[in-house]
Amino acid sequence: MKKSKRAITPEDLTKIEVLSEPQFTKDGTSYTFVSTKINENNEYEANIHLQQLHEEKSTPWTYGKYNNSNLSFSPDGRQVVFQSNRSGTPQLWIMHTNGGEARQLTTFKHGASNPHWSPDGKYIIFTASLHEDDDVASQKELSKEEKQQLTEAKSQEPLVVSTLKYKSDAEGFHDDKKTQLVSYSLEGNTFTQLTKGDYHHLFQDISPNGKQILFTANLSDNADYELTNDLYLLDLHSNEIKKLNERSGYHQRAVFSPSGEKIACLGHEYDYAGATLTELYIFDLQSGERLCISNEWDLQLGDYIIGDMRLGASENGPVWSKDGEKIFFIATDRGSTGLYQVDLESNLEILHKNDSHVFGFSYHKETDKFIIGISSPTNPGDFYLFERGSELRQLTTTNKEFLQEVFIATPEELEVTTEDDWKIQGWLLKPYGFEEGKKYPFVLEIHGGPHMSYGQSFFHEMQLLAAKGYVVLYTNPRGSHGYGQEFVNACRSDYGGKDYEDLMAAVDYALDNYSFIDEDRLGVTGGSYGGFMTNWIVGHTNRFKAAVTQRSISNWLSFYGVSDIGYFFTKWELGHNLMEDPKKLWDFSPLKYAENIETPLLILHGEKDFRCPIEQGEQLFITLKHLRKEVEFVRFPDANHELSRSGNPKLRIARLEHICRWFEKYL
């Protein structure tokens, strides 16, 4: 392999621009999107761009070192409202599409988000975190000094906890604020709170006639003990709230049909707990009936491909056609995602799927065109115009200069047949500067979830390890999404069982079929569930010479009580909670097998990880150190479970450097 380009580095994280949120303008001749990058201050900044479909370059609509996103066009297309933190707190801003400065709309103490226009263009509906006695008419944004004073005051006060759901990895410790729906009148310059109560209300859609709002919530008195997310209809005239689903479950992405007579909604009823495939429901508002369109499919709706370069959110569907006869959405299948279409008789059609990662789309009802966001293993992501019967037309070349400068390895897809005849999909990257006849060290990567999926998407960490001279193997063992209901459910109550065997079978396959792998220099790493599995592997085999476990689980007994999801996830995934069968949980815990570990182990963990709290890493480190094993512990300050994907850029780079350092030392 000729080294015509340089190898990728950890610092290249700062050179990659990430695209998200494609959205057609009203006339369909152009579209907007969000571009996120890391600036010279090692901070994320996201700005909104506009691109004409006939032009090669986009025009920035927003500037500066801020995060601007969630743009929404007015019905006449003359104005946009969007979310920005330029004032210091995420607030709503409005500006004209023909130019001019943006004007701040909200000054809510805890910010405002997710804006949507009413069909007549007279109102903007949004969400805000409010205390029970907050007055939306007199909200005042805190200054930087006031925020600091409030933080210092809280740090000197005890936290009184009386609820089960008192913390989350995304938000930290909760207080009594709840997400409420608020309406802003452009004519009267007034705010009206639409929902109240000690519940979170998540806006979904507004009806075509502007008289009703869809939202999801759990309004039960037992909400603190339940994981349900019901679908509700709010009548804006009478303030009457009506629950639409009969059975409890999880509902999201609900949208009105163009006529307003039907609602498309994604969701499920936890038939397989957290491993349940997502369904597409149609609610008929006239008959009150609910139809499951996807009942006969064995397909996971939505984007479940993971990576470390997908900042920002994008539309996954469902989205209605103009005539209300078809619905468009993204689905995950065998390591890739595609754009799908279904009619109301459940006839499914693939519109675009080409061994890549479709991470978002926008549909223009009048022209029947799509803007599709696509990432591949060799491209972080660009936007394309898709028209039926025509070839994709690339609209952006965002990272062109970077890709011309840096060598990006192309993965080779492989399929492993296990002893019980299951098919396991995987990919292998050859190292930078590969030479025939030479032996190379090897690293097995294991994804988290466990119900997520590796796939045909750009992954900086994988490319970095290949650039450092390693053969990289990543696979989707049973438990991964994209291979049907039986497959994704198969690891539950069997952690460290067949899923472990799948991974080892993949390693054996690689050694048998790729003679350039040095079988005496094998490494393994993974995060979250992948961290658990890394811990499990080194406790059950000594074939690996180095391991890096990240944000892992080591002890299910304590995980039950310390994780923000432990009280239900433990039961979901292992079949038992702490009180039902502590011995079973201990049998599933890698810590039980610490004496067996001979592999040098690096433990990486975020100090503020509430999903897999840092005590999981602490227990493993202290145990191994006490046993005089080769182990090291790296703690990342102010980092939560999302460190590798959206954490502090400096810490993300440091994390990658530690991984490379450990493998270089022992492999």
Domain boundaries, the chain: 407-554+589-666
Q: How far apart are alpha carbons 207 and 467 in whole angstroms?
A: 52
Considering the candidates 268, 364, 460, 641, report the single residue annotated as catalytic. 641
The pLDDT tens digits for 378-403 are: 999 999 999 998 899 999 999 999 99
Tally the residues of the chain.
Answer: 667
Beta carbons of 89 and 111 less than 8 angstroms apart: yes
Q: How far apart are alpha carbons 69 and 572 in whole angstroms?
A: 35
DSSP code string of 517-529 = EEEEEEEEEEETH
pLDDT given at position 247: 87
Torsion angle, CA of 161/165/169/175, rounded to 10 degrees?
Answer: -50
pLDDT given at position 248: 86
Q: How far apart are alpha carbons 20 and 360 in whole angstroms?
A: 7
Strands in 293-335 per DSSP E: 300-301, 319-320, 326-333
* Burial of residue 520, with CB atoms counted within 10 A of its CB: 0-12 exposed, 13-18 middle, 19 or more buried: exposed
Beta carbons of 640 and 628 less than 8 angstroms apart: no
Nearest to 630 by CA among 665, 657, 582: 665
pTM over 0.85: yes
pLDDT given at position 389: 87
Considering the candidates 35, 314, 480, 528, report the single residue annotated as catalytic. 528
Hey, what are 632's tokens?
Answer: 């090291």
How many secondary structure helices (H) and strands (E) does the chain include? 12, 39
Q: How far apart are alpha carbons 528 and 447 in whole angstroms?
A: 8
Nearest to 17 by CA among 31, 32, 3, 38: 38
The pLDDT tens digits for 493-523 are: 999 999 999 999 999 999 999 999 999 999 9
Beta carbons of 3 and 432 less than 8 angstroms apart: yes
Tell me which amino acid residue 641 is. Answer: H
- β-strand partners of 326: 343
Q: How far apart are alpha carbons 139 and 129 in whole angstroms?
A: 11
Longest dimension (CA), the chain: 77
- Within 8 A by CB and 6+ apart from 408, the residues are 8, 377, 378, 379, 463
Q: How far apart are alpha carbons 33 and 29 in whole angstroms?
A: 14
The pLDDT tens digits for 233-262 are: 999 999 999 999 998 899 999 999 999 999
What is the DSSP pairing of strand 79-84 with strand 91-96? antiparallel
**HSE-up of 186 (CA within 13 Å, CB side)?**
19
Hey, what are 490's tokens?
Answer: 């198969």
Other C-beta atoms closer than 10 Å to the C-beta of 364 total 18
528 belongs to the catalytic site: yes
Q: Which segments in the chain show pLDDT lower than 50?
A: none
pLDDT given at position 1: 55
Q: How far apart are alpha carbons 418 and 95 in whole angstroms?
A: 58
What phi and psi, each to the nearest 5 degrees, are found at residue 643?
-50, -50
pLDDT given at position 522: 98
3-state secondary structure 113-141: EEEEECCCCCEEEEEEEECCCCCHHHCCC
CA dihedral over 354, 357, 363, 369, signed as positive or negative: negative
pLDDT given at position 287: 94
Percent with pLDDT over 90 in the chain: 97
Tell me the average pLDDT of the chain.
Answer: 96
Q: How far apart are alpha carbons 659 and 200 in whole angstroms?
A: 39
Q: Which CATH number fits domain 407-554+589-666: 3.40.50.1820, 3.40.50.10490, 3.40.50.970, 3.90.1150.10?
A: 3.40.50.1820
DSSP code string of 608-629 = T-SSS-THHHHHHHHHHHHTT-
478 CA to centre of own chain: 20
Hey, what are 505's tokens?
Answer: 């079978």
Q: How far apart are alpha carbons 226 and 573 in whole angstroms?
A: 17
Residue 160 gets which letter from DSSP? P
Residue 110 gets which letter from DSSP? T
Tell me which amino acid residue 370 is. Answer: F
Beta carbons of 433 and 471 less than 8 angstroms apart: no
Q: How far apart are alpha carbons 635 and 637 in whole angstroms?
A: 6
Tokens 């102010």 belong to residue: 638
Q: How far apart are alpha carbons 102 and 400 in whole angstroms?
A: 31
Q: How far apart are alpha carbons 511 and 653 in whole angstroms?
A: 31
Beta carbons of 29 and 18 less than 8 angstroms apart: no
